[in-house]
Amino acid sequence: MSRDQQTPIRPECLRPADDFWVQPTGEEVREVLRRASLTGAQAARLLGMKGATGRGIRRYTGGDAPIPYPSWAILCDVAGLGKIWGEPAMVGSEEEEDVRGGETVEWSEAKAAEFVQTLQREEAAKAFLTLWRQRCNVEDHVQVVRDVISGTTALSDAALTECRNGLMRLRQAAHALAQLASSRTWSRETDPVIGLVVQRYADLADEAEESVRTILKWAEMPARTGREPLD
């Protein structure tokens, strides 16, 4: 199929998650898989999906279930559509240039194929992508902290426990990713994917830690919270 015959992918589907991202249709997911030269089973392995048989991918391509943003972002990257989780995606010629950190990274079909092969053969990549797929769950923990800070959730012993647990999970994830990024298999300096995600986890952990510190102060100040100090 020539590029003129490609199924168009809406620009709003190629935005960062926090920039009015629009869920892709099943047809758009199929098109990204086609551009990445991935079968359903290959895509499932790439994303670290349980079983890796392609059944889960078929739910996305058939429109039976929405594809998670992290999984969509990975597939778009491999398909040469750009790194949509941090900067605007680029759609156009067979070979695109992505300027990042003063360096130019070329994303061609050959580069995408090489990237896929690397991910499939490296256990570290599988572990990395598994952590990445958990990003939405991790951000749920951050949202718990944000809700308490904003007053959406009332300050209580249960809420404080959730905040502490969320901070612990964030720190664990940030540490695991940092360790993986510093391994001999990967280099966060040379691989922009690693660098972006590691920094994202670190930023989330820092935000949560600062907020939890504030919440703990509130818990000790009845005048501020209008209730007895929490234990």
**Two structure tokens written together for 18:** 């926090």
Checking if the pLDDT of 92 tops 50, the result is no
Percent of the residues in the chain that have a pLDDT greater than 70, as a whole number: 52
In tens, the pLDDT along 1-18 reads 444 467 889 988 888 766
What is the average pLDDT across 141-150? Answer: 83
Q: How confident is the model at residue 28 (pLDDT cuts 50, 70, 90)?
A: very high
In tens, the pLDDT along 159-184 reads 888 888 777 777 766 666 666 566 54
Better-scored residue on pLDDT, 22 or 30 = 30
b/e burial code for range 21-33 (CB count within 10 A of at least 16 → b): beebbbebbbbbb
Distance between CA atoms of residues 83 and 103, nearest Å: 15
Distance between CA atoms of residues 133 and 139, nearest Å: 11
Q: How confident is the model at residue 227 (pLDDT cuts 50, 70, 90)?
A: very low
Question: How many C-beta atoms lie closer than 10 Å to residue 215's C-beta?
Answer: 20
Q: How far is CA 15 from CA 12, 81, 100, 163, in A?
A: 6, 11, 17, 29
Q: What are the boundaries of each domain within the chain?
A: 3-120, 123-225
pLDDT of residue 105: 40
Q: What is the mean pLDDT of the chain?
A: 68
pLDDT of residue 188: 52
Checking if the pLDDT of 132 tops 50, the result is yes
pLDDT of residue 26: 93
Distance between CA atoms of residues 118 and 78, nearest Å: 11
Cβ pair 75, 39 in contact under 8 A: no
